[in-house]
Amino acid sequence: MPARVSFIGYGAFSLDVEVMIYIRALNYEIFLEKQEKLLLSFSHIVEEHGSGFAFPSQTIYTAKDDFPTETAQQVLSQQDLSQQSPSAN
């Protein structure tokens, strides 16, 4: 069967393409070798045409609190006191 490439839709951040290829191989190791060559050739074709693939990423912003250390310790101490159960007299 011939290979088939289809534009199948729009993702949230992508244009979705499906590639259907049937591979004949005597064993799984040979199949994996052929699969790797095909996937790498896709990358080379895309790069040769001036494009690339987007990869998921996250950005994490961190900030330092402006509380002086003593103030933070006082807040934590007050929280500890409020969480303790009253003692029986």
pTM of the complete model = 0.53
Q: Hey, which residues does 47 pair with through a beta bridge?
A: none
Residue 57 lies in a domain: no
> What is the domain count for the chain?
1
Q: Is residue 66 part of a domain?
A: no
Provide the residue range defining the domain that includes 24.
4-48
Mean pLDDT per 10-residue segment, the chain (89 residues):
92 90 95 95 94 83 70 75 62
| Distance (Å, whole) CA 5 – CA 16 | 11
- 43 contact partners, CB below 8 Å, separation of at least 6: 53
43 in a domain, yes or no? yes
pLDDT at position 65 is 67
d(C-alpha 27, C-alpha 48), whole Å? 32
Structure tokens at 87: 């003692």
Question: Kind and range of the H or E element at 42?
Answer: helix 28-48
Residue 44, token pair as written in the block: 């080379």
With respect to residue 29, please indicate whether it lies within any of the assigned structural domains.
yes
